[in-house]
Every structure is written in C-alpha cells, then in structure tokens.
Structure 1
Amino acid sequence: MADEANMSESELARQQKINDWLPITSARNAKWWYSAFHNVTAMVGAGVLSLPYALSQLGWGPGIVILILSWIITLYTLWQMVEMHEMVPGKRFDRYHELGQQAFGPKLGLWIVVPQQVVVEVGVCIVYMVTGGKSLKKVHDVLCPSCKDIRTIFWIMIFASCHFVLSHLPNFNSMSVVSLAAAVMSLSYSTIAWAASLHKGRSPDVDYSYRAKTNGGAALNFFVGLGEVAFAYAGHNVVLEIQATIPSTPEKPSKGPMWKGVIVAYIIVAICYFPVAIAGFYVYGNTVDENILISLEKPAWLIAAANLFVVVHVIGSYQIYAMGVFDMIETFLVKKMNLPPSFILRFVTRTTYVAVTMVVAMAIPFFSGLLAFFGGFAFAPTTYFLPCIMWLAIYKPRPFTLSWFANWICIILGVTLMILAPIGALRNIVKKAKTYEFFS
C-alpha cells in the first residue's frame, strides 16, 4: 500500500511537472485584459475583410440579420464555455476536448471535439500563411509598381520565417505583446477598410442585386456567404485555453475576469465587423472583391499600411491558433508516448509544424476557396452549436424553459449552417479548379 501511495505521489508529481511545462497550463497569472486582446486576435482575423463580399452574396436584409444573429449566438455560446470552464468544483477544463469528454464521455468526447478542433486550428494557420504572404506581396506591389513581380510562394516563405522564431514562445502569456500588437492592428486595418471606402464614396452605377443571375446560382452563393460569416467567428476553438491562463480560487473564479475580457473583445469585434461589412457593400455593391482592401486602390500609402497591419495581425493570430495545436502535440508526445519534456522536443515539433503549414500554403495558395467548405463543416459546430449540446448534456435544463429553447434554436441554426455552407463552397471550388495552379 505504501508503495502504491508513493507511486501515486510520484505520478502526481510527474503530472504536475508536465502541466508546468505544457503551453496551456504552464502560466496561470494572466489579467482580464489578456483575455480581451487574445480573444480579439483569435476572433478578428482576415475573415473581417471578406464580410462585404459575404454581404454581396447574402443581400442587404438577410446579410444584416445573419451578421447580427451570428454576433448574438456566438457571444451566448462563448458565455456558456466560460461558465463551463469550472463547473466541477476544484477542477478546470483547460482544453476544449476536456469539456467534450465531460459532456460525452472520455472516448466519444475526444472523437467529437479533437478532429473538428484540429481542422479549425490547422486550417486557420494555413489560411493565415496565405493571407500573410499575399498581404506582403500587395505592400510590395503598391509601393513599387515598376519592380519585378515576385511570386506569392516566395512571400509566403518570407512571412513564415518569423514564425520559425515566434513559435518557440513557451505559452500564451509569453506572447501577450505579440497578441496585443495583433489586436491593435485588427482595429486599425478594419477602420482603414471602412473609412477609405466611405471616403471614396458610392459610385453612381452601384448595383446591390445578387451576383448570380440564376436563382440556383444566387442560392449557392448565399450558402458560400454563410460559410464566410461562420469563418469570421472562429475564436471559440481557443477560448478555454485562453481562460486556463487566468488564476482561479473558489472565492475568485476565473470566469469573472474572463467574461470581462470577452465583453470588451466582443465590443471591439462589433466595431470591426459591422462598419466594414456595411460600408464595403454600400460603396462597391456586388462588384466588391473577396478582400475589401483589394477593392481599394488609392491612396497607395494607406493601402500599403493597411496590408502591413494585416501582416502584423495574422502573425499574432497564427500564433494563437498554433499554440492550441502545439499543446495537443506536446501533450500526446509527453503523456502518451512518455517522451521527456525538453527544449529539443519542443524545438523539433514546433519547427516541423510551421514548415508543414508553410509548404501546404505554398502548394495551394487558393486555400481561401476551401475556407467556406471547412468553415461550414468544422467552424459552425465548434462555434455555433457544440457548446449548446454540451450545456444540454451537462446541465440538463427542463424542457420548454428559456435555456432549453435558446440552446435548441442555436443547435438548429448551427446545423443548418453546417449543411448549407459546404454545398455552396464545393461548387465554387469546382468552378475555380480549372484555373488553379499548384505552387503558383
């Protein structure tokens, strides 16, 4: 018995040592404002720049309704996740899949949550590699139109080079400066996007009708627009991981400061999303580009500055999403494969991950076409309705109460989004596939 007690004590000590090393649980001294700018950096991604384009596919009325509904639903599901982080006294669900295991059981919880989370986090990292590379290229082309054209893949390599350094920051708290800079930049380029659009003014022949001239085409484009809006709200995938960095005691649980940060973040999200979507569509109508900054041509210095801000922002966003993947990989290697926690292990895994996302981004720099497809499949569940299913499974609210109704409405809307968005996206991918070139 004594041996067993000693063994369990040594095992506990080993587990504690591992937790002190893993990126999500190694530092628990974050302030509420860390939560604010981490959430802004995770949420306000390059997706904000495609919102005017999404609005052109959804139309004025449905588009505004879907934007507002998405903001309300995702704020509600985010509140649920913040509440569920410490619903078991003395235990913290530091990772999305741990909450899934509590709701659905140890095995099923993993199978439901992990594949979706991996698709979202790795997908976002690849998209941001492409976005960063393309934005750098745009800065170069705008500031030096007569210079020799440099292919996008080389800009992606240049963008990736900083991640080979930054990815070795050990945890969320150590990257707070990068995240703060990214959050400030997202507010800056969003403001430039809508202010420059309004300054340009609406052209006299602006057209707000649907792009597609057939009913079928308009319906499929509508589905793509849904996927693009879903992609704009992907921050839930790292919200428990962000909350895990905040200190917690029975008297002062982490949900207080976390929720404060989330509210500030969501106000900033609204300030970024709504003016960009509405002003961009108002000025350009159905001719607006997939990226609103590409529709803006003048003044050159402002467009270059906005694209540079996008680069700084996606550097921070990439790191936020990569940290979740690093935690999964390192947990697996250390806990399941029993490899000792070390600098070498971390260096090899993280460098390999950055290299893989870089190569995939270089091979298919049209990844944004796959975005609405993945956006519907994985982003909709993890953001719109998986927290509601977990809430119903864990808290079991009485049927026909307000909580019961709210959760079922979110689930029905989320499942509809998950089914429709990939259909439209698949058609777009097939249409564009004829002109795609690998490593272009």
Structure 2
Amino acid sequence: MAMQGNTSPCIEEVAKDGYDSNKFDDDGHPKRKGTWITASGHILTAVIGSGVLSLAWAIAQLGWIAGPIVLMLFSLITLYTSFLLTDCYRSPDPVHGTRNHTYRNMVKNILGGTQHHYCGLAQYINLIGASIGYTITAATSMVAIQRSNCYHKNGHDAVCTMPNYPYMIMFGIIEIILSQIPDFHELSWLSALAAIMSFGYATIGIGLSIAKVAGGSHARTSLTGVTIGVDVTSSEKLWNTFTALGNIAFAYSFSSVIVEIQDTLKSGKPENQVMKVAASTSVAVTTVFYMLCGMIGYAAFGNDAPGNFLTGFGFYEPFWLIDIGNIFIVVHLVGAYQVYTQPVFLLVENWCKERWPESSFMAKEHHIKIPLVGTYRMNPFRLIWRTLYVILSAVIAILLPFFNSIVGLLGALAFWPLTVYFPTKMYMVQSKVPKFSMRWTGLKLLSVFCLLISIVAAAGSIEGIIKELKVYKPF
C-alpha cells in the first residue's frame, strides 16, 4: 500500500514560440531528465509502504512453503505486467508513437470507448480506500506508542488497552489542515519525507525481528502456517489465507503510478527499455525487502504473528525504538494520505468548476496573510469539500478499524484491474496479438487466474470485516 503513489505529477509547460529540441521534448513538454535510477527510486518510494507491516502475519497464515512462493508469484506477475505497461507508454508504436502521460489517458487512447471510465473508477476507489486505511494504520501506531510506554512503565503483563478513535480524530484534524494546500506540486517535500519514513520503520521492524530471533526466540512455526485445531478452525484458516493474499497484493500495488513515472524519463533511449530496467531493479529490491520482513518476522513471532508487526507487541523492548518506528509510520502516513487524496480533491473541484464556471463560490480565491507562513489562498468550496471528505474518511475508519481486513480488501480491489486486466488488454490490442495464439491464451489465463485471486482475497477480507464487526464496539 503498499504505500502505493509517492510521486508528484510533472508540471506541464508547453513551448509557446515554436518547438525547440534543446529545451522541449517531442510532445512540447520541457526536457525530461529522468533516468532508470530515478525511476527505480520513484517505484521503490511508491511500493515500500504500510503494506510491509502485515507481511509477517500473511506469511504466518500461509507457512514456510506457500508464503515465499506466493510472495515470489506476486512479484513476478507485477514485474511482467509492468513490462506490458511500459510497452504501451507510446502508442500505437512502443518506440516512436505518441506519449501517454497518465494511466487513464493510456487506456483511453489504446482501448477507446468507455474503458477509461472503469479504469478511473478502479483508481479512485483505490485512492479513497487508501485514505481510510491510512487513517486506521496511523491511529493504530499512535495507540501503540502510548501502550509501549505503558508496558515499559508497568510491566509486560499490565493492562494497557485504550481506544483508537481519539487518535483517528487527531489524525483527521491534521489532514484537514494539510488538505487546504491548494496545489499538488506544493506537497513534494511531504512526499519525500514520507518516503524516508517508510524505509525507516520497515528497517526497524526487520532489525527488531532479527534481534528477537538471534536472542533465542523459539516461536512456533510450521510448513503450512497456522495450525487447524491449535491456532484456528478450518474455516478461519481458509478465510485468513484469502485475506493474506489480499495483504500481499496490497504490498505490491504500484501499477497505478508506473505510467506517470515513465513519463519522467529523458528522451534518447526508448523509454520502454529504460523503464524495464528500472522496474526489474526496483521489484528485485522490493522482493528481497519483503522476504526479509515476512520471513524473519514469521521466524520471530511464529504462528502468533500480529497483524501489524510494529503495533502488535511481539516486541516490548527497546521501547524507545518501537516508539521511533511508530512515529515514522505516523509521519509517513500523514504525507501518504495527502498524496493519495489530492487527486480525489482535484477531480471533484475541476468537475465543479467546469459545471458552474461563473460561480464565485467555486472559483474565487481569497488571499489571507498568515504570519511566518505566507499568503494562503482560501477558496470556500475547497475548504468545505476537503474538510467534509477528511471527516467522512475518519468516520468510516472509526466504524471499520480492522487493519488486516481493510488492507486485504484494498489490495484485492486494486490488484486485478490495475495490475493485470488493463495492462494485458492494452498490450494485446496495441501489439495486435492474434486471437487464440499461444501468447493470447497465456495472457487470458493470467488475467482469469488473477481475477480469481482478487475475488477470494476480497471475500476473505469482507468475511473478516463482518466477523470483527460482530464484536467491535466503536466507542
């Protein structure tokens, strides 16, 4: 969720006084400067996120055999379909065709019809869901900081339970303030900070897991994961396995931003070839990182692995390091929330401006001078709409604060359409893959297989939400 999307869109500037190849690219945009190294960095920033926190739990549901196999399978599928997307960046020819600047634009130009609307729907469901999931995760980490200090002061057997909804409200207030920043590109500093934090807390989690294993931890593990009749019932084992698939899918979800990342590459070498190098490098690094988090986390916690390995208190000491890890999570999610919600804000605001162009309520901005900050551009509609959105996402998070089930559902909803269906469909159309050929059949089978994975992952996550709702009391 992965934090999925820590990249800011380019500010488009088009040559006005003729085409200058020294300053502008073939589409009139300023010369792009990206390389495979910068593109790899963007992908790593997008993919290494809060999804890593659930991997130890996911491996515990699958075991030593299926766990690494499923992680590797998702890695290979994501890499392969990202290759297909890179070949569609230019259309109708992957080397000399016209650039597609966004994922949705690519779907519109290659598939035509109304398919780009379905692509947009999938993208925005993912973005809206992420804002809810990030609210839950941030509040869980805030509670974990308070509980960590409580356990350190009163002992590991102390009763240190506390509600998380006050922290969701606190997180929402912070996001209401940050949401009033008018333009997406003004958040580049926040995105960079979020990326540093995500690597920080994931590294702390790995380090603590290694220390626990090295310290003689004898956690109970097995080849098949949690044991039926000991840890779970047979039905719980099945549903948890499905939810684990969604958690792993969420961790690998970065397809929705790969087109925008490719659009930053400088001209010269074919962009699709450069992007394939970047994708291979970043997915390889991500897979190693995820294997460490998942496998070492499972070795440390065993079948009792918590849903979130930094907030589930498999670790108690050093409490200050656990606090730092959770602070990193909160800071990361403060930034990630904005990266994911700004496109939603802009979609509604731009539509309203087009629908009511003469409305001063929609378009007029009031300039307010704030000491030590500068001039703030306040628009009444933006203030009300963004505030209501943050409040609504916080209310839903309070009503459904189930980390693993929500993460699994988000992963299931985004994985098939954005990572598999559209990439394979566009590639077959652009490359004119003959019907019923071996490649056509293989791509169709891959799409059907991944659709089935998404369906069972969504079913497992929904079952988990329903089960937890039966015993959950929000206040």
The CA deviation at 1:278 is 0.5
List per-residue Cα deviations over 1:379-405 (Å, max 9, x = no partner): 332123331122223322245777546
Kindly provide the amino acid, as one letter, of the partner of residue 103 in structure 2: Y
Does structure 1 retain, via aligned residues, the 8 Å contact 2:144–2:326?
yes
Q: How far apart, in 2, do the equivalents of 1:322 and 1:436 lie?
A: 28
Q: Which has the higher helix share?
A: 1
Q: Structure 1 257/395 Cα, relative in aligned 2: closer, same or farther at 3 Å? A: closer
Equivalence for 1:273: 290
**Local SS of the residue matching 1:206:** coil
Does structure 1 retain, via aligned residues, the 8 Å contact 2:250–2:415?
yes
Q: Where does structure 1 lack aligned partners over 5 or more consecutive residues?
A: 1-22
Q: Structure 1 141/218 Cα, relative in aligned 2: closer, same or farther at 3 Å? A: closer
Q: Structure 1 150/426 Cα, relative in aligned 2: closer, same or farther at 3 Å? A: closer
Equivalence for 1:131: 137
Equivalence for 1:101: 108
Q: How far apart, in 2, do the equivalents of 1:269 and 1:169 lie?
A: 32
Does structure 1 retain, via aligned residues, the 8 Å contact 2:40–2:281?
yes
Alignment partner of 2:221 out of 207, 225, 247: 207
> Which aligned pairs between 1:293-312 and structure 2 lie closer than 5 A?
293=310, 294=312, 295-312=314-331
Asked if residue 121 in structure 1 is aligned to residue 127 in structure 2, the reply is yes
List per-residue Cα deviations over 1:228-251 (Å, max 9, x = no partner): 11111222223334445x2665x4
Kindly provide the amino acid, as one letter, of the partner of residue 82 in structure 1: T
Kindly provide the amino acid, as one letter, of the partner of residue 46 in structure 1: S
Q: Where does structure 2 lack aligned partners over 5 or more consecutive residues?
A: 1-7, 13-29, 155-159, 366-376
List per-residue Cα deviations over 1:82-141 (Å, max 9, x = no partner): 33233256744333322222343232431x212221221111111011111111221233
Asked if residue 419 in structure 1 is aligned to residue 460 in structure 2, the reply is no
**Local SS of the residue matching 1:161:** helix
The CA deviation at 1:368 is 4.2
Alignment partner of 2:46 out of 42, 46, 70: 42
Once the two structures are overlaid, the 10-residue window that deviates more, 312-321 or 69-78, is 312-321
Does structure 1 retain, via aligned residues, the 8 Å contact 2:241–2:460?
yes
Equivalence for 1:26: 11
The CA deviation at 1:316 is 2.8
Does structure 1 retain, via aligned residues, the 8 Å contact 2:246–2:408?
yes
> Which aligned pairs between 1:46-57 and structure 2 lie closer than 5 A?
46-57=50-61
Once the two structures are overlaid, the 10-residue window that deviates more, 382-391 or 404-413, is 404-413
List per-residue Cα deviations over 1:65-94 (Å, max 9, x = no partner): 110111111122223223323325674433
Asked if residue 292 in structure 1 is aligned to residue 292 in structure 2, the reply is no
List per-residue Cα deviations over 1:11-60 (Å, max 9, x = no partner): xxxxxxxxxxxx84634767446644443333222211111111111121
**Local SS of the residue matching 1:237:** helix
Once the two structures are overlaid, the 10-residue window that deviates more, 183-192 or 32-41, is 32-41
Equivalence for 2:86: 82
The CA deviation at 1:149 is 7.2
Does structure 1 retain, via aligned residues, the 8 Å contact 2:408–2:458?
yes
Equivalence for 1:6: none
Q: Structure 1 25/331 Cα, relative in aligned 2: closer, same or farther at 3 Å? A: farther
Kindly provide the amino acid, as one letter, of the partner of residue 142 in structure 1: S
Aligned residues: 414
Equivalence for 2:430: 394
Q: Structure 1 405/168 Cα, relative in aligned 2: closer, same or farther at 3 Å? A: farther
Asked if residue 223 in structure 1 is aligned to residue 242 in structure 2, the reply is yes
Does structure 2 retain, via aligned residues, the 8 Å contact 1:241–1:324?
no
Q: What is the TM-score when the length of structure 2 is the normalising length? A: 0.77
List per-residue Cα deviations over 1:238-271 (Å, max 9, x = no partner): 3334445x2665x466657655654554344224
**Local SS of the residue matching 1:59:** helix
Equivalence for 1:69: 73
Q: Structure 1 240/352 Cα, relative in aligned 2: closer, same or farther at 3 Å? A: farther
Q: Structure 1 362/234 Cα, relative in aligned 2: closer, same or farther at 3 Å? A: same
Does structure 1 retain, via aligned residues, the 8 Å contact 2:194–2:336?
yes
Asked if residue 381 in structure 1 is aligned to residue 417 in structure 2, the reply is yes
Kindly provide the amino acid, as one letter, of the partner of residue 109 in structure 1: H
The CA deviation at 1:289 is 0.5
Q: How far apart, in 2, do the equivalents of 1:140 and 1:56 lie?
A: 27
List per-residue Cα deviations over 1:317-360 (Å, max 9, x = no partner): 22222233234324423445546596525555444433332232
Asked if residue 313 in structure 1 is aligned to residue 332 in structure 2, the reply is yes
Does structure 2 retain, via aligned residues, the 8 Å contact 1:54–1:225?
yes
Does structure 2 retain, via aligned residues, the 8 Å contact 1:125–1:322?
yes
